[in-house]
Amino acid sequence: MAQFTNQAQLTYGDVVTNSNIAVGEILEALTISKTAIVDTYGQNDSVTYIINIVNSGVALNNLSVSDDLGTYRFGDTALVPLDYVEGSVKYFVNGALQSPPSVSSSGTVLVFSGIDIPTSSNVAIVYEATTNEYAPLGPDGSITNTVTASGSGITPIEASETITAINAPLLTITKSISPVPVSPNGVVTYTFVIENRGNVEITAEDNAQITDLFNPILSNINVTYNGVAWTEGENYTYDEATGQFATVPGQVVIGAASYVQDPTTGIWTLTPATSTLVVTGNIG
């Protein structure tokens, strides 16, 4: 809502008298809001946005809605952390799907044009964007993007939505075997590489655990974790009768990934933290 003020002036002879200040308020006929379906993001992640425009006044035609795609300043440069997904827009009037609006982009601003809103109606514009190399990824990372509706007969109105970088571990594990092939009754080595691409470390309190059922069964196994010899019962358990291997919960720990923004280009680089588990034994 917008307020306005007015004051009258009375003059008689050489006397000037001012009235009180009257305050009025204009009820906005058009309101806008923007919402992200999920308010967190990761590297190269997909984000779905919904723009809602409610018109409580007369019909409005040929409006434009612009989106700055989260553009932020980096020194003397403007960086754009979101990329619009071509063809993803859906356009609804009072809940009914319509033909999509015209979409254009200048690189830093995405524009939906030809938006018509009947009287006492609402419009929803739904679309997807993906985070790119300029999306902040550190623990305090966030993207705030702003949409503005403008056109003939209205004062431009805007709304913003902020999403934050995921603050959590993000683990992957790969397993390799050597040598290939292996001779009967030969020695085989399994190597497990655990990567954390998240910005939060895994500690003993997280009770991370690796399990594996070795087939064929191994005997006389030796286990190391990040080059340090492990002890059966203390760090891991193994059943030579079944081939069932398991690390003791809490023994697998791994640091957080490193996120660095290039001071010249503004590009964010992710370097995952890694840990390596090696199990060597004889094929029975």
Pairing of β 157-165 and β 40-41: parallel
What residues make up the domain containing 209?
171-283
Shared domain for 132 and 194, answered yes or no, is: no
Q: Is it the case that residue 27 has pLDDT exceeding 50?
A: no
Nearest Cα residue to 163 out of 81, 271, 88: 81
Shared domain for 91 and 114, answered yes or no, is: yes
Q: Is residue 158 part of a domain?
A: yes
Shared domain for 36 and 157, answered yes or no, is: yes
pLDDT attached to residue 5: 82
Provide, rounded to the nearest whole percent, the portion of the chain with pLDDT above 90.
81
pLDDT attached to residue 188: 95
- Give the domain-ending residue among 130, 149, 165: 165
Residue type, 178: S
pLDDT tens profile 170-193: 999 999 999 988 888 889 999 999
Shared domain for 62 and 97, answered yes or no, is: yes
Number of domains in the chain: 2
pLDDT attached to residue 261: 94
Shared domain for 151 and 273, answered yes or no, is: no
Shared domain for 161 and 44, answered yes or no, is: yes
CA-to-CA dists, residue 245 to 172, 213, 236, 275, angstroms:
19, 6, 7, 18
Residue 124 CB contacts under 8 Å (≥ 6 apart), including other chains: 50, 51, 52, 53, 90, 91, 92, 95
Q: What is the mean pLDDT of the chain?
A: 92
pLDDT tens profile 218-257: 999 999 999 999 999 999 999 999 999 999 999 999 999 9
Q: Is residue 4 part of a domain?
A: no
Shared domain for 34 and 161, answered yes or no, is: yes
pLDDT tens profile 59-115: 999 999 999 999 999 999 999 999 999 999 999 999 999 999 999 988 789 999 999
The pair of structure tokens assigned to 176 is 């390799």
- Give the domain-ending residue among 141, 165, 189: 165
Shared domain for 124 and 177, answered yes or no, is: no
